[in-house]
Structure 1
Amino acid sequence: MDVPETLLRLLARRRGIEAFGAFRPEFERAARALSEQDNDPDVRGATVGERQYARWLTGEVKNQPHPVACRVLRAMFDRPASELLGPPPPPSPHPPRAVLASWGAVLSQPQITEEELLMTANDAASHAGDAASQFLAPEAVELLRRSVASLARDYHRTPVQSVFVEVRKVRGQVERRMPLTHRPDQSSALYLIAGQSCALMASAAFDLGSRKAAETLTYAALAYARPIDHHPLLAWASGNLALLAYWDDRPGQAIDYVTAAQSLARSGTGQARLHAISARAHAHLGDHAEVARQLAAVEDVDRSVRDDLHDDIGGEFGFTPERAAMSAGTSWQVLGESQHAVIASQRALELVRGRSQASRSVKVEAEASADLAAGLLAAGELEEAVLAMEPVFTLPAEQRVDGLMSRLANVRVRLAAPGLRRTQAAISLAERVEDFALTSARTLVAAPGPRELDA
């Protein structure tokens, strides 16, 4: 006896999923995609039993399937269940023989019936519908975007270990969601969020003392940014590679990174950051004139020209005037220009202390205070240096980041100068610095390494 034919059987056969073992996974995958599309958790777990599927194939059903099953079937085949469970459409009638006789040339080619054309077209449309249906709820992408932005803005007042852990969670969520969408706009958004997450983790890894991990994560940020051609993130990450090269005593390479990034930085903030990094690299090379030129360029940028990373998100991605002044103080410090260094560091402290408590960067204030103390010691102003250091000593261990520790090492060197090292005040300050440095953000946890980052 012939097995009854339904449109569902015909379409499933053509798609290669007529067997129950092949059909059920496709049905469940379509249910999950439909759940994401409609933001309907009730659809997500929909499935089909073998006996039920057998009745569908033969059309031996007394009532329409459950509404959820109807929705999933429609999502799979772009046809209502009532049509799928009925007989397939009849093939088109053949043309009259007289007409066929005049088609000699055509008949010599492989013959394709109208039914095959329609079925192929419907299959293509069905697959396109399946692919198009795979996208994330916009709210899911927006939540990830806001999470990264919030972590970047709160970086200055959050323990760096916590930042690293939370950003790593966001990046993990992005990675899990990437295969769930076929929409180019959502894929680009997820690439950007992943890149921003890696960039934030790079900052945290540096503050925790793991420059190797910071470099690996920065390259990961670049890898995410390049396919979507996101210039602000490309510029920020290239600048970060320059900073890492600077701290690793590779000033020439730092300048190369900055030069490569300058054509990518469109906003005034992004340009200011690169000029400041360039000034510090040139300071290591002892180029007074170029340091002065780069620091002047920092002041001359048009900060009204904005971008979505340095300005709209800002925070750790930003480069505020106080950070610019602090960086200038460090550049002058490296050159041995103690007077300029003191002026710039005092300016940084004036700016940061002029902000509200919620928006004040503890990191900038501490590092500028250490630079100010070093500049004052270079000028022989020991008492003023002791006062400058007081805000630093109040920092809890989790906020004693690696950049601050490097600056405190410079203070120790200044205290060992022949004119100071034998004075009781210098000895006392040196002991306090040494005790303070025994615990830092780096010592509280094991600094993350490349294996842990999965970047």
Structure 2
Amino acid sequence: MAQPTVFQLLVDERRWRDYDVFKHHYEEAAAELAQREGPPNLRTATIGRRQFVRWLRGQLESTPRNDAKRILEHLFQVPVSHLFQPAQHGSEQACPGETGRQATALQSGFYQSGMEDAVSMAAHESARFAARVEQSNVGPHTLEQLRVDIQRIIYTYPNRPVMPLFLEVRELRNRAFELLEGRQPPQYTKELYLAAGTLCGILANASFDLGQYGPAGTQARTAFLCGELAGHNGLRSWVRGMQALIAYWDERPEDAVRLALSGQEFTPEEGTAHIRLASISARALARLGRHEEALSHLQTAERHRQSYAGPEDHGNMMAFPGAKQSLYASTTHLWIGTDHACVSAEREAAAAIDTYEAAPPEQRRLGELSLARMDLAHARLQQREIDGAAEQLQIVLAMEARRRTASVGRRLEQFGRRLALTPAARTPLGLAMYDSIAAYHEQHARSLPGGSAQ
């Protein structure tokens, strides 16, 4: 074959090219599906040698269906419709700095790291075994493992492509739902609702980052319900903030203000959710033209920040560090739009960029950093600093080539519309910026977003 399929690459990465090795993993996946979802006869499903060879060579008359489809998707966490497609389908310019397997995975829209996948899979297998051998439906080990898994996801989310993480979180959420359907002591039930609500909140965030606002809203409503059942103010206030963000980006700023104010009714047990809510409402109020109220809410956020005694947690996706507060303040000032506000926006955006870039690479919020740079570009455009705006735009486009986000895409659209209304649009540099944005959107239409930003 001129180009290997995704199936062939995944089999090679996992060292399953030997028929007996692949057959063992295939039958294990079938047995696990039979136990989890049924029907029971799925437990005896297997794969013949000739069929495996045809899959490996890409010699298919049609994609696998029925039981084989379910088993393959469970085994690889990749839709069958993509599994037997050429892995290098797409533009060769999409990842100019990547080579080998990493480039292939990025171009096909999937993130696959052989070592990380193998280690993660082994950990999940051990966790499932430990959960099975506990005497009751839920025990201390099950809850501890759920907490550890959630913490790992919360701290790795800002730097991971969304879709593979989405599938992992969905599996954990389903596990939490299954445990809630069983019997457990009341204190465990409360913690399970908190875990399930947190996982639904992460799925809402991921759906939002993929530009799917309707499903994001559904996930958020379920997350809020779980927060209610757990009696946890921190989760309830964070989810209200998530709902407000969805409304803001879905062109519903009035709903964003209402939801953010609703979230402020819950005093979080800890964390920065109250700072986040005030910052969200400030941005939405400014968009509605209610400038004095917007500035008042920025002041409220700053008062909350001054009284906050917790850690400045850059790595936690559910935290609201000072850099993100500066980012929201810069966007608020841009919506106000006066000359003085543009100067403030430039200052806040530059402060956010400096703080984001000072964070360790594993804690750097790349999507938010791109949004801060877009705010800086917008502020400079409004102040007729065309070279400075173009510089920030090119940095953002380079970052987005590796890690796309729906929110940054929207900001690029807004920048392009603003650019078209200025005299700079007719200059060679202005035309070059407009062409770069158009090329980005043309390429973006062919692929899913892969990062996060709000």
- Classify the TM-score, shorter chain: 0.5 to 0.7
Structure 1: stretches of 5+ with no match in the other structure: 1-132, 448-455
Q: CA RMSD in A?
A: 2.4
Equivalent of 1:290 in 290, 293, 307: 293
Corresponding residue for 1:334?
335
- Note closer, same or farther for the CA distance 1:223–1:443 as it changes in structure 2 (3 Å cut): farther
Alignment of 1:333-352 (within 5 A): 333-336=334-337, 337-352=341-356
Quote the offset at 1:177 in angstroms.
Answer: 2.1
Quote the offset at 1:299 in angstroms.
Answer: 1.7
Check the 8 A contact 2:315/2:362 in 1, yes or no: no
Aligned partner of residue 423 in structure 2, secondary structure: coil
Equivalent of 1:400 in 393, 401, 404: 404
- Rounded Cα–Cα distance in structure 2 between residues aligned with 1:302 and 1:418: 37
- Rounded Cα–Cα distance in structure 2 between residues aligned with 1:365 and 1:182: 43
Equivalent of 1:198 in 182, 200, 207: 200
**TM-score (norm. length: structure 1):** 0.65
Matching residue's letter, 2:265 = S
Quote the offset at 1:311 in angstroms.
Answer: 8.1
- Rounded Cα–Cα distance in structure 2 between residues aligned with 1:286 and 1:352: 29
Check the 8 A contact 2:241/2:273 in 1, yes or no: no
- Note closer, same or farther for the CA distance 1:268–1:369 as it changes in structure 2 (3 Å cut): same
Matching residue's letter, 1:376 = R
- Deviation string 1:364-421 (CA, Å, 9 cap, x unpaired) is 1111111111111111110011111232122254621111011101110122124111
Corresponding residue for 1:324?
325
Matching residue's letter, 1:348 = A
Equivalent of 2:371 in 363, 367, 373: 367
Aligned partner of residue 380 in structure 1, secondary structure: coil
Alignment of 1:209-358 (within 5 A): 209-266=211-268, 267=270, 269-302=272-305, 305=308, 315-336=316-337, 337-358=341-362
Corresponding residue for 1:451?
none
1:417 has 2:421 as partner: yes
Aligned partner of residue 438 in structure 1, secondary structure: helix
Aligned partner of residue 261 in structure 2, secondary structure: helix
Corresponding residue for 2:115?
none
Equivalent of 1:155 in 143, 153, 157: 157
Quote the offset at 1:302 in angstroms.
Answer: 4.6
Check the 8 A contact 2:162/2:449 in 1, yes or no: no
Aligned partner of residue 444 in structure 1, secondary structure: coil
Quote the offset at 1:439 in angstroms.
Answer: 3.3
Corresponding residue for 1:28?
none
Check the 8 A contact 1:342/1:375 in 2, yes or no: yes
- Note closer, same or farther for the CA distance 1:446–1:249 as it changes in structure 2 (3 Å cut): closer
Aligned partner of residue 154 in structure 2, secondary structure: helix
- Note closer, same or farther for the CA distance 1:418–1:262 as it changes in structure 2 (3 Å cut): closer
- Rounded Cα–Cα distance in structure 2 between residues aligned with 1:306 and 1:427: 48
Aligned partner of residue 295 in structure 2, secondary structure: helix
Check the 8 A contact 1:367/1:407 in 2, yes or no: yes
Aligned partner of residue 425 in structure 2, secondary structure: coil
Check the 8 A contact 2:158/2:315 in 1, yes or no: no
Quote the offset at 1:444 in angstroms.
Answer: 2.5
Check the 8 A contact 1:283/1:291 in 2, yes or no: yes
Aligned partner of residue 361 in structure 2, secondary structure: coil
Aligned partner of residue 362 in structure 2, secondary structure: coil
Aligned partner of residue 358 in structure 1, secondary structure: helix
Corresponding residue for 2:81?
none
Aligned length: 313
1:383 has 2:384 as partner: no
- Deviation string 1:164-200 (CA, Å, 9 cap, x unpaired) is 1111111011122223432112111111111001100
Rg bigger for which structure?
1
**TM-score (norm. length: structure 2):** 0.65
- Deviation string 1:135-160 (CA, Å, 9 cap, x unpaired) is 42311211111111211111110001
- Rounded Cα–Cα distance in structure 2 between residues aligned with 1:306 and 1:265: 15
Alignment of 1:17-36 (within 5 A): none
Matching residue's letter, 2:155 = R
Equivalent of 1:173 in 172, 175, 197: 175
- Deviation string 1:58-92 (CA, Å, 9 cap, x unpaired) is xxxxxxxxxxxxxxxxxxxxxxxxxxxxxxxxxxx
- Rounded Cα–Cα distance in structure 1 between residues aligned with 2:315 and 2:245: 18
Corresponding residue for 2:141?
139
Check the 8 A contact 1:268/1:302 in 2, yes or no: no
